[in-house]
Homo-oligomer: A and B are copies of this chain.
Amino acid sequence: MKNNKEIVHCFVDYGFKRIGGKYKGRILWVLKGGVLRYGELKRAIVGITPKMLTQTLRELEADELVHRKVYLEVPPKVEYALTTTGKELIPFIEQLRSWAKNQMEQKNIT
């Protein structure tokens, strides 16, 4: 999800542009639990490919929602954590989540 150069029409538009995309919400949500390494994220976000994980993390980083810390070791070690701005989004995701939970229970979705 590219969001540079595009015209932002309103706050809602801007907000959705920053958290849109197939995996951003899930990534932010699991990072709510604390710092995670790349491989841990990969296991947590079931179904994501390394390409999409890296790509999405880079977008989140550029967007200052996630912080990336590289350890100069071999084998490599990279840790990801929410930034302050990223943490501010958690209540919002939580609200969507509880709405979704409700909906899924009502609709009996497996």
Chain A residues close to B by CB (< 8 Å): 7-16, 18-20, 25-26, 29, 45-47, 85, 88-89, 91-93, 95-101, 103-104, 109
Could you tell me if A7 and B92 are in contact, using CB atoms closer than 8 angstroms? no
Q: Nearest chain-B residue to A14 (Cβ)?
A: B100
A19, A95, A98, A101: residue with the most chain B Cβ atoms closer than 10 Å: A95
What 5 A-B pairs are tightest by C-beta distance, nearest first?
A15-B100, A15-B96, A11-B100, A92-B95, A14-B100
Could you tell me if B14 and A26 are in contact, using CB atoms closer than 8 angstroms? no
Could you tell me if A95 and B95 are in contact, using CB atoms closer than 8 angstroms? yes
Could you tell me if A85 and B100 are in contact, using CB atoms closer than 8 angstroms? no
Distance (whole angstroms) from the CB of A49 to the closest CB of chain B: 14
A12, A14, A18: residue with the most chain B Cβ atoms closer than 10 Å: A12
Please name all residues of chain B whose beta carbon is closer than 8 Å to the beta carbon of A12 when the two chains form the complex: 25-26, 29, 93, 96-97, 100
